[in-house]
């Protein structure tokens, strides 16, 4: 029994959602400790644009990947993690003033895009595009989820198409010295073409 418990804590539990040759996208049910190092290393690339708080730790992996209501996907190439995207219930971020003042806070209808990152050597081959489309598609299928929100550098949301609204702007976001926009995206129906790019994507 103990061996089973150890195995469960070490190995991730996931479901393959999409694949193309040696590339696959998995919906995580639980992140095992063996995948922690890869996730943490990949997250370091987010620090430059989004601040040190964007770097994952064992604690934040548990909080954001292994929490009820989260929608975490990882991308693997030859079984190695090369990126991830995760949406978390807005209420998970109750410690953030901007989250508490969102008009939808407490309604359980909003996913906040916590991070979206793909390693640079895998850019230009459609992997990032596939990952974000899977995320958006699955977000739209979640019961009661009507919106996706996120923070992007000032001016970036102007490049998005579809129903995007800037909720507010935050100066010196996460002590980066940069102004970020907090935007809200209304999810489109599954019958409509996916037009928007989700917010946080960094090439490492």
Quote the CA–CA distance of 201 and 84 in Å, as a whole number. Answer: 9
Q: Which domains are present in the chain? A: 2-203 (3.40.630.30)
Per DSSP, the three-state class of 72 is strand
**Which of 65, 85, 69, 66 has its CA nearest to residue 134?**
85
**Which of 45, 27, 24, 35 has its CA nearest to residue 141?**
27
Q: What is the pLDDT of residue 4?
A: 41
Quote the CA–CA distance of 40 and 1 in Å, as a whole number. Answer: 30
**Which of 91, 93, 87 has its CA nearest to residue 108?**
91
Q: What is the pLDDT of residue 159?
A: 80
Q: pTM of this prediction?
A: 0.82
pLDDT < 50 positions in the chain: 1-7, 189-204
Quote the CA–CA distance of 31 and 8 in Å, as a whole number. Answer: 10
Q: What is the pLDDT of residue 202?
A: 41
Q: What is the pLDDT of residue 8?
A: 59
Maximum Cα–Cα distance across the chain: 54
Quote the CA–CA distance of 1 and 3 in Å, as a whole number. Answer: 5
15 and 27 Cβ atoms separated by less than 8 Å: yes
Q: How far is CA 115 from the centre of its chain?
A: 4
Q: How far is CA 93 from the centre of its chain?
A: 14
Q: What is the pLDDT of residue 200?
A: 43
Q: What is the pLDDT of residue 176?
A: 86
């Amino acid at each position: 029994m103990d061996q089973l418990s150890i195995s469960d804590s070490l190995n991730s539990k996931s479901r393959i959602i999409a694949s193309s040759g040696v590339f696959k996208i998995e919906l995580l049910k639980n992140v095992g400790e063996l995948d922690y190092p890869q996730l943490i290393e990949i997250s370091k690339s987010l620090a430059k644009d989004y601040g040190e708080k964007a770097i994952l730790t064992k604690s934040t992996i548990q909080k954001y990947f292994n929490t009820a209501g989260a929608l975490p996907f990882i991308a693997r190439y030859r079984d190695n993690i090369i990126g991830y995207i995760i949406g978390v219930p807005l209420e998970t971020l109750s410690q953030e003033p901007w989250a508490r003042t969102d008009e939808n806070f407490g309604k359980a209808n909003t996913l906040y895009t916590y991070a979206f990152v793909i390693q640079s050597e895998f850019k230009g081959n459609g992997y990032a595009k596939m990952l974000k489309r899977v995320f958006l598609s699955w977000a739209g299928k979640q019961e009661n989820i009507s919106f996706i929100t996120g923070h992007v550098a000032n001016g970036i949301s102007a490049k998005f198409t579809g129903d995007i609204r800037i909720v507010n702007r935050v100066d010196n976001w996460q002590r980066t010295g940069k102004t970020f926009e907090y935007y809200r995206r209304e999810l489109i129906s599954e019958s409509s073409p996916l037009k928007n790019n989700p917010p946080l994507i960094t090439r490492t």
